[in-house]
Structure 1
Amino acid sequence: MLDNAWLIPLIPAVSFFVILFFGRRLPKKGAEVGILALGVAFVLSLLAAVEWTGEHVPRHPVHRHLTWFEMGGIDFGAGIHVDGLTVMMLVVVTFISLMVHVYSTGYMHGDRRYTYFFAALSLFTAAMLLLVVSDNTLQ
């Protein structure tokens, strides 16, 4: 799971697009998609935490880098870095975001921008999780 930690921010990002384009047609106006996506992301982050803490020997951080392009000897790319702090922050961020999504269903009930709110909340969560697993802000 640690090698596939990039999937955790991808799930709320996909839910953003699903809610944005199909949210008004769904029975609960997109809230169920956001909650389901964060539930899956939370379970995946728990699996990553169990994998990280289940080792008896100290683990080395997982580092993956993808080069987008190279110009003048400068490498522009994106990467993920997964270590103990990353794994614990994934659990914290996904859990709190899941609780915010659940609470917001009642708090925002009846608001005319209900669907947009859940789309924006999913996008914010995806951005926050991307910051957690990001190797570096500027590659």
Structure 2
Amino acid sequence: MSRSIVFACGLLAASAFAVSVQAATPQSLFNDNCSACHQTSGKGVKGAFPALAGDPFVQGAPLPMMTTVLAGRAGMPAFKDDLNDADLASLLTYVRTSWGNKGTPVTTADVVAARAKINAAKKPRNLQAH
């Protein structure tokens, strides 16, 4: 086989791979990480998982929401080690602007700052009996 055919086949394979490895969409990030509890509709499960649709907490100041998603709260897992800053910003913006929500977008810089604030917070000391 000639070099040009081998080269062309290699380019074709590389471009097919590049097309199949696309960045996650905000909706797919939500579906993969949040929808099991909060539902794809954002309506949650009454008495178990809060609705995100129409929730004032979700639409309010972004820092408390970012802190909750990064550190977890009341049974909600922490996502600080699971999602990078850009993906978290994308996911949080999706939640803040979906299902009729009127929250402002969250930027990657916002998530970086929230993550730094959490990391800088004083950690509780381990209490040892002896």
TM-score (norm 2): 0.28
The structure whose RCO (Cα within 8 Å, separation 6+) is larger is 1
Higher strand share: 1
Higher helix share: 1
Which protein is bigger by CA-based radius of gyration?
A: 2
TM-score (norm 1): 0.27
